[in-house]
């Protein structure tokens, strides 16, 4: 027992030192989206702005962002340690295997700091990923405990984690169906009872209801409006703008919206931020779209819509945010359907790009590597399930693959895939692959002994 505790504390110490090294090197890293969280913008979910506001009130304006980066670094260390503890407990890892499990979790952090263009770690960044990437690992630790141990307390731990993740970043909505599938496969399918089918649905519905009430209560206390976060239609609207042409204004019934749409499209066309200017195959289309997105969504359509509303006499910021959503929704209803074929092609390009970015970066060599890696992963998982339907490593691998597909599909549908949206599953993919290799080797050795 004492030796296990010492090993556990040593692993925790390694993770804390690792993350604090980058905290000392970089401190708090301000990013493009940081101001919207600091200013508690209506377009942002409540948890992270509240976290920053609480630190600002406690620590003062001079040091609160540094304290935030420090706490985020500790959180990332603790959740990485928790996942490592769970894997060590259920797979009885040897020392070298445990060391490799730790190194695999280090790898994405090192790539972001020293190889990627951002040249900083997410744990030190003033952005939601600093929390959600850490909580993603914690959620997987709880999901694995549900699968392997079937203890009900982990269901509630997982549900609370889902609540915090989604209340921090709406991209995390994918965790609710993931939790539902885990609960169904763990409880309902083996027992075939109505109660075990309904209970998971009730947990998910209760969690989602809490998310809605919390977000609306936050906005009511801050802005006097019982509303969710705004700009929810901005991403799909921006995709539609990218695929539209000026002639499509004829589909819009309201003259003032026609003129607004025409002004936006004239600007995006003049700068080449349109589908018609993309060249090459699917990945080239995705590159052009992702490069154009911020220019369309942030620099063009949003300020034009805000100016349009102010010209109509609307001055309250919360009202402007809500009316901007209404304007976008009205145009979407009449123009969207005419752009579905082109938008579907963008979704496919984004999906392919997202699958690659989940486990590598995009270039001709690593694109091929990604395809081979996925094929080997799936073949190995299939083999292990065929040999033993309850193989723990294969179950972990299946859970990771479902999470990868869910995250890529959701992100492709609502915006576009880039590294910061895809990195959640990178360490998990390689952890699952490594554990499957260990299981495969064990099975081969066992079969040789039985011959």
| Mean pLDDT (whole number) for 435-450 | 88
Question: Could you report the per-residue pLDDT of 352-387, keeping only the tens digit for each?
Answer: 999 999 999 888 899 999 999 999 999 999 999 999
CA–CA separation, 59 and 72 (whole Å): 15
Q: Is 388 helix (H, G, I), strand (E, B) or coil?
A: coil
pLDDT at 305: 93
Give one word for 280, left, alpha or beta, with left for phi > 0 and alpha for psi -120 to 50.
left
Higher-confidence residue of 42 and 272: namely 272
What is the band of 446 on the pLDDT scale with cuts at 50, 70, 90? confident
pLDDT at 67: 97
Average pLDDT, the chain: 92
CA–CA separation, 60 and 366 (whole Å): 46
CA–CA separation, 183 and 47 (whole Å): 26
Where does 115-149 have alpha helices with state H? 129-149
What is the band of 39 on the pLDDT scale with cuts at 50, 70, 90? very high
Calculate what percentage of the chain has a pLDDT beyond 90: 71
Measured in residues, the chain has a length of 451
In sequence order, what are the beta bridge partners of 52? none
Question: Could you report the per-residue pLDDT of 158-202, keeping only the tens digit for each?
Answer: 999 999 999 999 889 999 999 999 999 888 877 777 877 899 999
CA–CA separation, 278 and 112 (whole Å): 28
Using the predicted structure, report yes or no on whether residue 309 has a pLDDT greater than 90: yes
pLDDT at 331: 94
Structure tokens at 393: 């490593």
CA–CA separation, 179 and 140 (whole Å): 10
CA–CA separation, 82 and 84 (whole Å): 5
| Mean pLDDT (whole number) for 61-75 | 97
| Mean pLDDT (whole number) for 79-92 | 96
Neighbours of 280 (CB within 10 A): 10
pLDDT at 158: 97
Using the predicted structure, report yes or no on whether residue 228 has a pLDDT greater than 80: no
What's the start-to-end Cα distance of the chain, in Å?
Answer: 38
Using the predicted structure, report yes or no on whether residue 232 has a pLDDT greater than 80: no
What is the band of 451 on the pLDDT scale with cuts at 50, 70, 90? low
Considering 143-152, 286-295, 394-403, the range whose residues carry the highest mean pLDDT is: 394-403
Question: How distant, in Å, are the alpha carbons of 115, 131, 314 from that of 112?
Answer: 6, 16, 43
Q: Is 253 helix (H, G, I), strand (E, B) or coil?
A: coil
Report yes or no: 275 and 291 within 8 Å, Cβ to Cβ: no
**Contacts from 114-121 at CB under 8 Å and sequence distance 24+?**
116/361, 116/419, 118/419, 118/420, 120/26, 120/29, 121/19, 121/22, 121/26, 121/29
Calculate what percentage of the chain has a pLDDT beyond 70: 100
């Amino acid at each position: 027992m004492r030796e296990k505790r010492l090993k556990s504390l040593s692993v925790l110490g390694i993770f804390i030192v690792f993350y604090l090294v980058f905290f000392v090197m970089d401190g708090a890293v301000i990013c493009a989206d940081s101001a919207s969280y600091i200013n508690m913008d209506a377009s942002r979910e409540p948890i992270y702005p509240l976290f920053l506001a609480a630190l600002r009130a406690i620590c003062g304006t001079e040091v609160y962002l540094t304290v935030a980066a420090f706490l985020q670094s500790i959180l990332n260390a603790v959740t990485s340690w928790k996942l490592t503890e769970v894997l060590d407990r259920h797979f009885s890892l040897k020392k070298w295997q445990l060391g490799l499990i730790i190194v695999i979790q280090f790898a994405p952090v090192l790539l972001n700091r020293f190889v990627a263009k951002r040249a900083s770690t997410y744990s030190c960044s003033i952005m939601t990923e600093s929390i959600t990437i850490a909580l993603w690992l914690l959620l997987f630790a709880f999901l694995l405990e549900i699968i392997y141990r079937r203890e009900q307390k982990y269901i509630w731990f997982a549900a609370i984690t889902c609540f915090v993740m989604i209340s921090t970043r709406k991209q995390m909505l994918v965790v609710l169906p993931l939790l539902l599938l885990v609960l169904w496969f763990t409880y309902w399918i083996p027992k075939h009872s109505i109660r075990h089918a309904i209970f998971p649905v009730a947990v998910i519905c209760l969690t989602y209801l809490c998310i809605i009430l919390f977000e609306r209560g936050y906005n009511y206390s801050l802005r006097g409006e019982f509303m969710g976060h705004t700009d929810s239609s901005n991403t799909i609207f921006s995709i539609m703008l990218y695929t539209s042409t000026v002639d499509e204004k004829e589909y819009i019934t309201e003259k003032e919206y026609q003129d607004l749409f025409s002004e936006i499209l004239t600007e995006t066309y003049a700068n080449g931020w349109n589908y018609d200017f993309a060249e090459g195959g699917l990945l080239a289309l995705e590159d052009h779209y992702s490069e154009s997105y911020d220019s369309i969504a942030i620099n063009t359509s949003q300020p034009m819509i805000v100016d349009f509303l102010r010209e109509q006499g609307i001055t309250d910021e919360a009202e402007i945010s809500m009316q901007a959503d209404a304007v976008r929704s009205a145009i979407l209803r009449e123009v969207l359907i005419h752009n579905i074929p082109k938008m579907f092609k963008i979704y496919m390009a984004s999906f392919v790009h997202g699958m690659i970015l989940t486990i590598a970066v995009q270039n001709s060599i690593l694109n091929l590597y990604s395809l081979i890696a996925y094929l080997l992963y799936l073949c190995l998982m299939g083999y292990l399930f065929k040999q033993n339907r309850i193989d723990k490593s294969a179950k972990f691998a299946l859970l990771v693959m479902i999470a990868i597909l869910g995250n890529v599909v959701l992100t492709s549908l609502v915006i576009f895939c880039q590294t910061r949206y895809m990195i959640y599953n990178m360490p998990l993919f390689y952890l699952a692959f490594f554990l499957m290799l260990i299981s495969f080797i064990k099975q081969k050795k066992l079969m040789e002994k039985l011959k």
